[in-house]
Structures are given as C-alpha cells and as structure tokens.
Amino acid sequence: MRDYIYNFWQGLYTILVGMKVTFRHLFIPAVTIQYPSVKPQMPERERNRLYVNMDDCIGCDQCARACPVNCIEIETVKSIPGEDLGTTSNGKKKALWVTTFNIDFAKCCYCQLCVFPCPTECIYMTDTYEFSEFQRENLVYDFVTLTPEERIQKKKNFEEMQAKKEAEKIAAAKKADEDKAAQANKPAETKSDNKEENKQ
C-alpha cells in the first residue's frame, strides 16, 4: 500500500517537475536560426566545396593520387619550347598545360586529403556549401581556364611538336643509318636508341 501511494505521488511529482522544465523553456529564446534568410557564419577552416586556382596549378597530379574516391581527374600536356606558362605565386615554374581538371562533387567526400600534398597550395576548400543540382552531371566541375579550342590547340601543338621531333629523329636516324650504311658499321646500337626515344 505504501508503494502504491508512493508510486502515485512520484508519478504526479515528476510530471510536475518535467512540466516546470518545459514551461521555463517557453520563455528561453530560440537557439535555431532562420536558415535561408539568416546564414551561419562559417568558420575559417570550413571544409566545403573545393576550389582550384588554376593560375597556380602545375599539374603535378598529387591531389588526384591522394583522393580516396578518385573524384579528381587531371590530364596534362607538355608545353612546347618557347611557350611561357608563367610562374606560380610561390615561384615555381610551370611546365605543363593542364587540359583537364575535373572534380566530381557527387563523389567528393570532403576529406581534405587532396589539399595537403599540393606543392603550390592551389587546391583548397571554400565555405560554399549550397551547390546542389538537379542533374548529377552538373556536379562535375571543370576548373581549367583554357577554352576548349585552346585545349585542343595545346594538344595539337604538343602532338605536332612530338611529330616534328619524331620526324627529326627519324630523319636523324635515317641520316645516321645512311652514314652507317655508308660506313657499314654497328647498325644495331642506333636502333635501340631510337626505341628508347620513341617511348619518351
């Protein structure tokens, strides 16, 4: 019987205590913010959408290798002699044309692993977090500053250069062959040299 009354009293009492707590909270100002109209201030280390400053990118591919989900796709083309690509902000000389630098934000896991290995600190995370899209393809961001024509041009330039070199080499080889044929001396050695250069 004592338990019975005690239970009843406990029930009533704890309910009243709980009601006191919730009633007090009726007058405490809200801790939430009205999100789309009021936006929270993002901390400086905020890790959201990646940004690549292409002026500084040297196309070293380190970020793509660090990425655990392979969301960064980089393709580079060697510059032809005589082209000046400029230097990065920390004084490194650029030697590659970056013709593809795609980041697929549908895959990106915002882990920041790509940021640390970058030698020129050109890839970093910004505080932009509102970039949802209706089409998944739209989440593939292309950071390359070159126009599509320029990219094709650069590739072509490189190929032409390659072809020229090739031609030169073949010509040189031929010339050497001819010389050798003329001298009739050690034809095998030059052949292997040729192969190596082709690979490069």
Question: Which residues of the chain form contacts with other proteins (CB under 8 A)?
Answer: 4, 7-8, 10-15, 17-23, 25-32, 34, 43-47, 66-68, 109-113, 116, 125
Closest approach of other proteins to the CB of residue 106, in Å = 16
CB distance 99 to 144 below 8 Å:
yes
Q: What is d(CA 47, CA 11) in angstroms, rounded to the nearest whole number?
A: 48
Closest CB to other proteins among 113 and 173? 113
Structure tokens at 126: 């910004």
Structure tokens at 58: 């040297």
Closest CB to other proteins among 38 and 184? 38
CB distance 141 to 177 below 8 Å:
no
Closest approach of other proteins to the CB of residue 53, in Å = 18
Closest approach of other proteins to the CB of residue 155, in Å = 31
Our CA angle for 125, 129, 135, nearest 5°, is 110
Closest approach of other proteins to the CB of residue 104, in Å = 16
